[in-house]
Structures are given as structure tokens and as C-alpha cells.
Amino acid sequence: MHSTTEQRNPNSTEIDLKKISEIVQIFHEEDRKAVAAVAAESDAIAHAIDLCVTAFRAGGRLFYIGAGTSGRLGVLDASECPPTFSTPPEMVQGIIAGGDVALRRSVEGEEDCPERGAQAIRERQLTAQDVLVGIASSGRTPYVIGALKAAHTIGATTIFLCCVEPPEQFKEWVTHFVAPIVGPEIITGSTRLKAGTATKLVLNMLTTVSMIKLGKVYDNLMVDVHASNTKLVERSIRIVQAVTGVDATVAEATLAQAGGQAKLAIVMLSEGLNATDADALLERHSGFLRGVLDKKP
């Protein structure tokens, strides 16, 4: 029996004979299945986030590893953390089979080498404090399996994200599974479609919810945004305004004094402090703006 991701989808047979509008409707129908599959894994996703938050609080790191689309999605999610949450680049890292060149074009054969996956883990010096999320839609990519086994040997927390029912024997070296079962793809075997969508949804939650629980979000605002371009500078000004009620001119001036850090500027304005004292106050609240503004001890 082929893996679910390799089976043919009865909803898309003779798709080449259908009108464009009909094909679009098929995509909508199948994409809804991907969302439902992720929703069905809510408890598993929540536990995976708990594992990540625990690791971060202990000084650990989060690594994603995958091949092809799975690898690209992991790199994408990891690369968005520094600008969104001002995290150091090493805190969340994405590893793709074949290296950075594989982000733009396929590097054939790399995903078939478990020893290459294990080597990638050793090169990044994983420790027992780290979390490795192996991403493999089919549940059987040798590169990912090799990496997970190596990480398990080191004592790291291992999470396997796949879109099929994971084999029982994997429990020997996987701490936790997240397995949204999306069913056969519209184009047989093309896991950049529903499986890719489901993977992206899960990764969105792993990092975003973890960062919320680390104090990098206040209300629904990215108060730790790294204002590295005009758009993000303008967003930072709006964030400071939204929380403190000051006008744009005051927000911009205070941001300049705060070195562009929205969270710090907010504390300066709300508490009437200079940058140094505001930073010390934030530090006493472990970086949680909520604790400062709500005057919690």
C-alpha cells in the first residue's frame, strides 16, 4: 500500500478535462480538508508548543529540518522570527537537505541520505536543551529520519511533523508527533499542496504561540518587532501609539531614544522613565510588557 500522500485523489480525477473555475473549486474543497486536519491535531500542536517554550526558557534552540517543500517551509518560518520578534538568528533555525542552494532549486538525492541529516545535526552542535522538528509529509524521508535519530542520541527533544500516520517504531526516537492527515493530493504525490498548507499552518503556531508565551507579544501587537525597514518603523510607531495613546511625533521621538525598540518606548512613556530605567523594569518582569503595565509584581 502506498503512503497516503502517494495515493490518487478521486476528487480530482480527469482534472485536465475540467474548466478552470471547476479546478479552482476542487482546490477550495481540498484546502478545507487541510485546515480540518490541522484542527484535529490541536492537542498535539499545543503539546509541541509546550515543549518549545520549555526549551526556550532553558536557553535551548528550535531547529526545523526537512527536504524540498518541507525544508523550505521550515527555513521560511525560522527566517521570519528575527524581524517579527527580535530573536537572535540562532534561536530558531531552519535546515534544508542540500543546503541554501536547495531553497531555489531541487538538489536531487540529498533527501535519500540519512547520514547527511545526522551530519547536519552534528554540525550545528545540538544539545539536550534543544528541540528538533523533523518535517516529512510522507513520514519517511531518510534525511529527516537520520537527523531525528541523531538528535535523539544527543538527548534533544524530537518532534516529527508528518501528514500520514507515523510508523509505530518511530516512537523509539521521537518524543512527540504532530500528524495532520490531509489525504491524497489533487495532483498525485504533490505534497507542496495540501501537505504544504498543513505544514505551514502548524509551523505558524509553533513559533508564534511560543513567542507569545515568551512575552514577545502584548495584546495582539508585535511589541518586539525589529524595525529594520520603513514599513516596520511605521508599524512600530503605530504600536507605541496604540498602547500609550500618544501622537505619532511623540511615539517616533521616543522610539529613537529607545533604539527603535517599541516595547522599551512603551515602558518609557507609560512609566515616565528613561531608556536605562525602563529596560531595568522590563528585565524585572522577564520582558513581559503586560506585567509592567498591569503593575504585577
Which residues does the chain have with pLDDT short of 70? 1-2, 108, 296-297
Locate the DSSP E strands across the chain: 62-66, 92-96, 131-135, 157-161, 176-178
Residue 154 within a domain: yes
Q: Which grid cell is 250?
A: 511623540
Residue 43 within a domain: yes
Active-site annotation holder among 30, 41, 110, 111: 111
pLDDT attached to residue 103: 85
pLDDT attached to residue 260: 93
Asked whether residue 169 falls in the same domain as residue 234, the answer is: no
* Residue 91 one-letter amino acid: M
Query: Please, which residues have CB within 8 angstroms of residue 129's CB and are 6 or more apart in sequence?
Result: 55, 58, 59, 60, 61, 156
Asked whether residue 13 falls in the same domain as residue 53, the answer is: yes
| 80 labelled catalytic | yes
Active-site annotation holder among 6, 80, 252, 271: 80
Residue 165 within a domain: yes
pLDDT attached to residue 1: 43
Asked whether residue 242 falls in the same domain as residue 153, the answer is: no
pLDDT attached to residue 199: 98
In this structure, what CATH number is given to the domain that contains residue 130? 3.40.50.10490
Residue 124 within a domain: yes
CA dihedral 22, 26, 28, 30 (to 10 degrees): 180
Distance of CA 42 to the CA centre of its chain: 15
* Residue 84 one-letter amino acid: T
pLDDT attached to residue 167: 87
* Residue 247 one-letter amino acid: D
Single residue among 160, 180, 213 that ends a domain in this structure: 213
Asked whether residue 68 falls in the same domain as residue 166, the answer is: yes
In this structure, what CATH number is given to the domain that contains residue 277? 1.10.8.1080
Single residue among 151, 179, 213 that ends a domain in this structure: 213
Residue 218 within a domain: no
Residue 283 within a domain: yes
Asked whether residue 174 falls in the same domain as residue 267, the answer is: no
User: How many domains does the chain divide into?
Assistant: 2
Asked whether residue 133 falls in the same domain as residue 262, the answer is: no
pLDDT attached to residue 2: 59
Asked whether residue 28 falls in the same domain as residue 53, the answer is: yes
Domain limits at 163? 4-213
Asked whether residue 52 falls in the same domain as residue 191, the answer is: yes
Single residue among 163, 178, 213 that ends a domain in this structure: 213
Asked whether residue 207 falls in the same domain as residue 236, the answer is: no
